Chain A
Amino acid sequence: MFYREAGDFKTSYTDDSQTFPIKFDRYRYYVVLLVGLGVIPFLINDYWANSILIPFLIYAIAAIGLNILTGYCGQVSLGTGGFMAVGAFTSYKLMTAFPWMDMVTVTILSGAMTAMVGVAFGLPSLRIKGFYLAVATLAAQFFLVWMFNKVPWFFNYSASGQINAPERTLLGVAVTGPNAEAWVKYLFCFAFVFVLAWIARNLTRGSMGRQWMAIRDMDIAAEIIGVNPLRAKLMAFAVSSFYVGIAGSLLFTVYLGAVEVGSAYGIQKSFLVLFMIIIGGLGSIFGSFAGAAFMVLLPVLLRNLMDSTGLDSAIATHFEFVIVGALIMFFLIVEPHGLARLWALAKEKLRLWPFPH
């Protein structure tokens, strides 16, 4: 009815190859942007920013990053937590060494640093594949966390090994530190998510993304048709690590403010992001958002529901585990390809509605 290609005439090639070819999708996208930019910043309070929206946005970046590597290029990585730590510690060193530096520069440089580290750890991917590569990236995870724990230069020789984000500004407004307003932090993260998701979407639609997918689907065939595996795989590692590094940096500077590498960037963080893309959908930008929302928002929602039931808080917490676990199983049984596939099916049905055959 309202969701279809028919009647939406494209008169140029640019129109024809746009990201959202269907009018309804396009408007939905504008509405989301409008709400995200024009409504939420005016309504947001500390609780919504710090417990719900900022973690969702940050994990969405991390999920997009890992999805590029695992979902699009087919290289399994368990090093996400370690790469996030690289981003966080780079930010910390930059923020303390160059107090005049604005936060956008700090964040982008942190991503760039992580990209370099990612490429270094991506080199083995040229020789090993699948589970073996997963183990190699697992080594990256443990090595990086160990290094940030062990070398006191990274945490400026503080007594406890904790790093604290000092107050830093962008255009004179505090972005990090305790005095940063909720809406500033939100908009800062939103801007990064918007730009990075936009770039990711277009990268994966372009020749780079097609090379990655060729490698993912069959690397020998890809090589025969002229894809350079060295370049494609290392690019995937670099781009993915850049995203993950930015997510790690934002997690530290904007969201947590103080970080201990072992607990904030441990192996459980790698698994968390991996679960996000598996539940959201491998090889889908929308899936990254859906997965991040599922893993970040659902526990918070459940917690608030549980609180209102007046159950003993320990029992309520255990129930949360049970329910989240059951929901993950439910979704994976109903749709093994993730929430993105459910979304795609829904759109497919909408196209035919109200005359399904």
Chain B
Amino acid sequence: MKRLATLALAGVLTAGTAAADLVIPDLHYRTGAYAAGGIPFSDGYQDYFNLLNQRDGGIGGEMVRIVSCETAYDTERGVECYESTKAEGSLVYQPLSTGITYQLIPRATADGIPLHTMGYGRTSAANGDVFSHVFNYPANYWDAASVIINQLLEENGGSLEGKSITLLYHNSAYGREPIRTLETLAAQHGFTLTQIAVDHPGQEQGNQWLQIRRERPDYVVMWGWGVMNQVAIQEAVNIRFPMENFIGNWWAGAEHDVAQAGAAAAGYRSLNMNRLGDMPVFDEIREYVHGRGLAAGDGSNVGSVLYTRGMYAAMLAAEAIRTAQEIHGVAAITPAMMRDGMEALVMTNARMEELGMPGIGPEFAVTCEDHGGTGMAIMQQWDGSQWVTLTDFVAPDDSVTQPLIDEDSAAFAAENNIASQCGDS
């Protein structure tokens, strides 16, 4: 009974829908307070799929069609984007927003469409036993918190006893995610944790930095995004906080975050879940995509931190599509098959090398229970003009994060009556 109107409207709302493509929705934000981070990520995401179309004729002989929708990092618009694109046969959603992710988890699960929230979103979604359609490989926020602490432990001879660490966070679901892990770690390692919140969008941080200046913590850890990062780094420079003791997570470590402070921010460190540097795939993107005038943006972002991460996300999606095609033996896969593909995804160094992006991420294998990957991340440092990789992939302390994931996902399962998805195996 709802078909007729749907069809009539589909003609108006979605001009020219072609069937039997691999539909990849891109819920991007190229406007608003968070556009600086949203643009390069979306460029990388779209460019990689365009590269596959141009160079290989799609994936497994099936062309990829990107459906983009602007969310402006706004949750209500994110929901609208999801509803308006899901009918086109979208294979996987990648909203790049923790707030939108929380909206989409129940909806996408009910609609049977997988969600890939790479290094953001709901951390406990790593437990595939509860969250059947949500994947957050290769790493999540609690891993990030643990990696930072592990790195600091190593620098301090294995003990953080008596140290003080301040968490400066975006006052949203995103920024609050690491608190529980850091509290557990603080109890375990004996450091004191101070939490300072920055309200959206984070342009005004005078009070927060006054407090930091007064308390002089040994380290400041930042969970920031958008304009908040730039402001925080500038404020840190202003109060002459030792920059090497200021550490951002992987959403607070892009070129545009530090560019404003420039050389003064030298020493600022951040995590990264993907490796930096020139890769053969960039040349191919320049040749096949930008050379043919198909660049998603203005083409200036190739190789930047977030562009690389967007491309990495696209690569993981493309590899999951390939895996799904192998499992089911059909080229035009459905969202349900895509889910199976994501759950069977195996990333090896050999495969990444083959794709022209050697060592871009850690090796990992997804299983039904574990949708979270290894959680490893690298530490990078701003030298005043560019990001330099400091460490190899550092592992998080799973003995801390896993109980928290189990606890939080069990609470979600109980609240929503979700039975075990993976059986007893």
A317 touches B70 (CB 8 A): yes
Residue of A nearest to B415 (CB): A166
Of the candidates A50, A260, A300, the one whose C-beta lies within 8 Å of that of B172 is A260
B180 at the A interface (CB under 8 A): yes
B215 at the A interface (CB under 8 A): no
Quick one: which of B1-20 are within 8 Å of A by CB? 1-2, 4-6, 9, 12-15
B390 at the A interface (CB under 8 A): no
Chain B residues touching A, range:
35 or more
Residue of A nearest to B122 (CB): A160
Question: How near does chain A come to B2, taking the closest CB pair, in angstroms?
Answer: 5
Which secondary structure dominates chain B's binding surface?
A: helix
Of the candidates A161, A308, A314, the one whose C-beta lies within 8 Å of that of B176 is A161
B56 at the A interface (CB under 8 A): no
Question: How near does chain B come to A53, taking the closest CB pair, in angstroms?
Answer: 12
B70 touches A264 (CB 8 A): no
Chain B residues in 8 Å Cβ range of A350: none
Asked if A300 meets B408 with Cβ closer than 8 Å, knowing A160-B177, A161-B173, the reply is: no
Chain B residues in 8 Å Cβ range of A48: 5, 9
Asked if A258 meets B69 with Cβ closer than 8 Å, knowing A43-B1, A45-B5, A47-B87, the reply is: no
B199 at the A interface (CB under 8 A): yes
A96 touches B415 (CB 8 A): yes
A11 at the B interface (CB under 8 A): no
The stretch that binds A, out of B77-85, B256-264, B302-310, B347-355, is B77-85
Chain A residues in 8 Å Cβ range of B230: none
A300 to B70, CA, bound (A): 12
Asked if A262 meets B172 with Cβ closer than 8 Å, knowing A45-B6, A48-B9, A256-B75, the reply is: yes
Of the candidates A45, A179, A256, the one whose C-beta lies within 8 Å of that of B2 is A45
Quick one: which of B144-174 are within 8 Å of A by CB? 171-174
Give 9 closest A-B pairs by Cβ, nearest first: A178-B110, A314-B30, A178-B106, A160-B173, A258-B102, A43-B5, A51-B80, A47-B83, A317-B31
Contacts from B to A (Cβ < 8 Å): 1-2, 4-6, 9, 12-15, 28, 30-31, 35, 39, 68-70, 72, 74-76, 79-80, 83-84, 86-87, 98-99, 102-103, 105-107, 109-111, 122-124, 171-174, 176-177, 179-180, 197, 199-200, 404, 408, 411-412, 415-417
Contacts from A to B (Cβ < 8 Å): 42-48, 50-51, 55, 96, 149, 158-162, 164, 166-167, 177-179, 182, 255-258, 260, 262-264, 266, 300, 303-304, 307-308, 310, 313-314, 316-318
Q: Apart from A162-B102, A258-B103, A263-B99, what 6 extra A-B contacts exist at CB < 8 Å? A: A42-B1, A45-B5, A47-B84, A159-B404, A263-B200, A307-B14
User: Can you name 12 A-B pairs with beta carbons within 8 Å?
Assistant: A44-B2, A158-B408, A158-B411, A177-B416, A178-B107, A178-B111, A256-B75, A257-B103, A258-B106, A260-B172, A262-B171, A300-B80
